[in-house]
Amino acid sequence: MARAVEEKRSQLVVGLDPRLDLMPVELRGDAHLGPASAALSYERFCCAVIDAIAPHAVAVKPQLAFFEALGSHGIHALEEVVDYAQGAELLVIVDGKRGDIGSTARAYAAAYLEDRGPLPPLADALTVNPYLGGDAVEPFVTACRRQGTGIFCLVKTSNPGSADLQDLALSDGRPLWQHVGELVDHWGETVVGEQGLSSVGAVIGATHPHAIADARRVLPRAILLMPGVGAQGAEPADLRPAFALGPASVLVPVARSVIYAFRSDDDDDWRSAIGQAAARLRASIWTASGW
């Protein structure tokens, strides 16, 4: 990841959230006929997005829910999209927010972070819910150590409702999310790479600018995946304190304001509109990083 960031001078991750009602009309085809046709539309759209953003982004982040909603056809489309992205030399962060205990967690890790027989892992990294505790995260960390893959643990998420739980005060006055961040840092101690960054990263919402400096302090070796720029209202400049560990210490996932940029753009070429939106964001995020 660090090499990709430095080579492309980019921290942009483009979310792949395919929605038929927002996609270009020409790609919807017979999607209304059923899951198989809809899955093909998803695949065509996501691959076109990858072509448009590949020069500007370091990774894509397919959202599993949209593909899972189409059953086996959707999973096949996901596999095709992941293969296409990796062929375009993009890393793939699968957004599944998985988390469970024992054999179930091991199965999730095997599904996304480990070799699939003769095939490589489906994902380079996976989002994980750590709020079940250490035994639920350990199988994912083991897979990272064995395969060279990564995880991003939910710590302080970008949605407004995150405060309902994550901001609860502990007996020492700290919010709960900071304690979870300390656990994430501990879990990542054994998988630190050459750049001093861990394969166990953390999700910190860019929509909470007051928390960013604290997050970096609590997570001194984690790559921070920071959603919220774009449609959720955060600005790249808000992220500056998070970049203290170098240009690759923050990744910025953006979905709607890139992949559906054509819906508010005068450009008749929707592919061009997507590419231009990615280029603008890449440049503003790099500038904000200070590197």
Q: Is 291 a domain residue?
A: no
Confidence of residue 266 (pLDDT cuts 50, 70, 90): low
At residue 277, the pLDDT reads 96
Burial of 181 (0-12, 13-18, 19+ CB in 10 A): buried
Percent of the chain scoring above 70 in pLDDT: 99
Distances (CA, A) of 3 to 83, 132, 241, 248: 20, 33, 21, 8
Confidence of residue 256 (pLDDT cuts 50, 70, 90): very high
Burial of 36 (0-12, 13-18, 19+ CB in 10 A): middle
| Position 28 pLDDT exceeds 90 | no
Q: Is 75 a domain residue?
A: yes
Given the residues 8, 61, 97, 156, the one annotated as active site: 97
- Answer whether 275's CB lies under 8 Å from 53's CB: yes
- Answer whether 76's CB lies under 8 Å from 37's CB: no
Q: Encode pLDDT of 169-223 as tens digits.
A: 999 999 999 999 999 999 999 999 998 999 999 999 999 999 999 999 999 999 9
Q: Is 13 a domain residue?
A: yes
> What's the whole-number mean pLDDT along residues 237-250?
94
Domain CATH number, residue 127: 3.20.20.70
> What's the whole-number mean pLDDT along residues 61-83?
97
DSSP at 120: P
| Position 79 pLDDT exceeds 70 | yes
Distance CA 131, CA 70 (A): 28
Q: Is 92 a domain residue?
A: yes
Confidence of residue 146 (pLDDT cuts 50, 70, 90): very high
Q: Is 258 a domain residue?
A: yes
Query: How many domains in the chain?
Result: 1
Q: Is 289 a domain residue?
A: no
3-state secondary structure of 200: strand
Confidence of residue 29 (pLDDT cuts 50, 70, 90): confident
Average pLDDT, the chain: 95
At residue 267, the pLDDT reads 65
| Position 115 pLDDT exceeds 80 | yes
Contacts of 100 (CB under 8 A, 6+ apart): 108, 132, 136
The residue ranges of DSSP E strands in the chain, in sequence order, are: 12-16, 59-62, 91-98, 125-128, 150-156, 198-204, 222-225, 250-254
Q: Is 290 a domain residue?
A: no
List the domain range (segments joined by +) for residue 37: 2-284
Q: Which of 192, 229, 245, 212 is nearest to 61 (CA)?
A: 229
Determine whether 61 is an active site residue: no
Region at 114 (left for phi over 0; alpha for psi -120 to 50; beta for the rest): beta
Distance CA 52, CA 274 (A): 6
